[in-house]
C-alpha cells in the first residue's frame, strides 16, 4: 500500500544523518556524564558541545539551555516555577494554546488560586494585540504565555511585538515554540522573551528530548529533584545520544532552512490551489491560507461534506495510506472536537470534517496529487 505522510506537526521522520550520529554515540560514548572517569568526561564534553551549538542558533548563552524530555516538560517547568517561585499571580494566555500550557495553567489555578485571563482572538484566530496591551495594565505579577506557531491551524504570532509589550509593562514572557524552532530563525537577544520550549522530534530529531530556554537571572527553580544535573534545574542522568541527536537535527535544519522552506512553501501553495480546484466550498481554518501570517508547514482544511459521510473521511484516508490528523496528536483517542476548532468554527462547520495536513521537506507534489485523487473519489 502506498504510504504518504502529512502529519509532520505531530512528529517528523528522523534524518538519516541524525540516526547515524546517535548510533555512533550509543556505541562509543555510553558513559554517565556525571562520572569523573574518561568515558564520563567524554559524554559530558559531547553534551556541553551540543548545548553550545543549540544556544548559538538562538543567540543565547549555553547556560540558558536546559535539556528536558520535550516541549511539554519545558512548558511545565517554566509555568509551575513562575507561579511557585517567582510570585506570578496572573497568567495571560489564549484558548488556542497547546494543552501542555492550558492544562498546566488550569492546574496552577486550582493549586495557587492565580488569575487566568484569555486574550481576545480575531475571527481567524490571530491574537488581538491591542487587547493584550490592555490586559497588561494589570496590577498583578503577570506572565504571558502565547505560542509562536499554532500546531493545529498554523497561525503565526508576532512574537517580537508580544515580547516587546511584555518588557514594556514588566511582565514575564513565555512562548511554546515547539512548532517554530528549527523552522524559523529566532534571535532571543533581539526578541526579549524570557522562556521558550522546544522539542527535537518536530525538526527531524529523536523523541523524548527537548529543551527550555531560561533567561539568565530569571529565578526559575527546579521541578525535578534527585541530582544536580542541568545546573540543578532537572535531576536525572542525561540521555547523551538523544541530546546529540537533537543538536544534529537542529544544525541540519538551520543549514538547510532557506532551501527547505522554499520547497515546503511552494508545496503548500500547490496544495491550496489543488484544494480550491477540487471544490469551491472548501474553506481553510484559522489563518493557514495566508502564507505571510501562518507557518509554511501547516494546512487545516474544512470540507463541505455531510456529517454522516464526513465521519468516515479519516478512516478512508488511513485505508489509502495517507497519514494526517484532525488536530493535535495529543488528543488522539478522544471523541471531543479539537479545542482550537471549537473556539473558531460555528456549529455548522464544526459538524463538517476538518483535516490537518502538515508538511516537511520530504513531501512531494506527487504525494499531494495522490491525496487529491483520494479526496476527489471520496467526495
Q: Active-site positions?
A: 330
Q: Is 111 exposed, middle or buried (0-12, 13-18, 19+ CB in 10 A)?
A: exposed
| CA 86 centroid distance within chain | 25
- The β-bridge relationship of strands 115-118 and 322-323 is unpaired
**Beta carbons of 328 and 11 less than 8 angstroms apart:** no
Q: What is the distance between the alpha carbons of residues 67 and 253, in angstroms, rounded to a whole number?
A: 19
Strands 210-214, 65-68: pairing is: antiparallel
Amino acid at each position: 500500500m502506498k504510504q504518504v505522510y502529512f502529519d509532520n506537526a505531530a512528529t517528523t521522520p528522523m534524518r538519516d544523518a541524525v540516526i547515524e550520529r546517535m548510533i555512533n554515540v550509543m556505541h562509543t560514548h555510553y558513559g554517565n556524564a556525571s562520572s569523573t572517569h574518561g568515558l564520563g568526561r567524554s559524554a559530558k564534553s559531547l553534551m556541553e558541545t551540543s548545548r553550545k551549538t543549540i544556544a548559538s542558533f538562538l543567540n543565547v548563552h549555553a547556560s540558558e539551555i536546559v535539556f528536558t524530555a520535550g516541549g511539554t516538560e519545558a512548558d511545565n517547568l517554566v509555568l509551575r516555577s513562575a507561579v511557585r517561585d517567582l510570585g506570578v499571580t496572573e497568567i495571560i494566555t489564549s484558548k488556542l494554546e497547546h494543552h501542555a500550557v492550558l492544562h498546566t495553567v488550569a492546574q496552577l489555578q486550582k493549586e495557587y488560586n492565580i488569575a487566568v485571563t484569555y486574550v481576545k482572538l480575531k475571527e481567524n484566530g490571530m491574537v488581538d494585540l491591542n487587547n493584550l496591551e490592555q490586559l497588561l495594565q494589570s496590577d498583578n505579577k503577570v506572565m504571558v504565555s502565547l505560542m509562536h506557531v499554532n500546531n493545529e491551524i498554523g497561525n503565526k504570532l508576532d512574537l517580537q511585538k508580544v515580547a516587546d509589550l511584555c518588557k514594556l509593562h514588566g511582565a514575564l514572557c513565555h512562548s511554546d515554540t515547539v512548532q517554530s524552532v528549527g523552522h524559523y530563525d529566532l534571535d532571543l537577544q533581539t526578541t526579549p522573551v524570557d522562556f521558550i520550549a522546544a522539542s527535537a522530534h518536530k525538526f527531524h530529531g529523536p523523541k523524548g528530548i527537548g529543551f527550555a530556554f531560561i533567561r539568565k537571572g530569571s529565578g526559575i527553580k527546579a521541578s525535578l529533584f534527585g541530582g544536580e544535573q542541568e545546573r540543578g534545574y532537572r535531576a536525572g542522568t542525561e540521555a547523551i545520544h538523544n541530546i546529540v541527536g537533537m543538536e544534529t537535527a537542529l544544525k541540519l535544519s538551520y543549514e538547510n532552512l532557506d532551501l527547505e522552506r522554499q520547497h515546503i512553501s511552494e508545496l503548500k501553495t500547490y496544495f491550496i490551489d489543488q484544494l480550491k480546484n477540487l471544490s469551491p466550498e472548501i474553506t481553510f481554518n484559522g489563518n493557514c491560507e495566508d502564507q505571510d501570517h501562518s507557518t509554511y508547514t501547516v494546512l487545516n482544511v474544512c470540507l463541505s461534506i455531510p456529517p454522516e459521510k464526513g465521519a468516515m473521511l479519516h478512516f478512508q484516508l488511513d485505508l489509502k495510506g495517507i497519514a494526517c490528523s484532525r488536530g493535535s496528536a495529543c488528543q488522539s483517542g478522544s471523541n471531543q472536537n479539537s479545542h482550537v476548532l471549537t473556539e473558531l468554527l460555528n456549529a455548522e462547520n464544526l459538524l463538517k470534517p476538518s483535516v490537518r495536513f502538515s508538511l516537511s521537506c520530504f513531501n512531494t507534489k506527487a504525494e499531494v496529487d495522490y491525496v487529491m485523487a483520494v479526496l476527489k473519489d471520496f467526495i
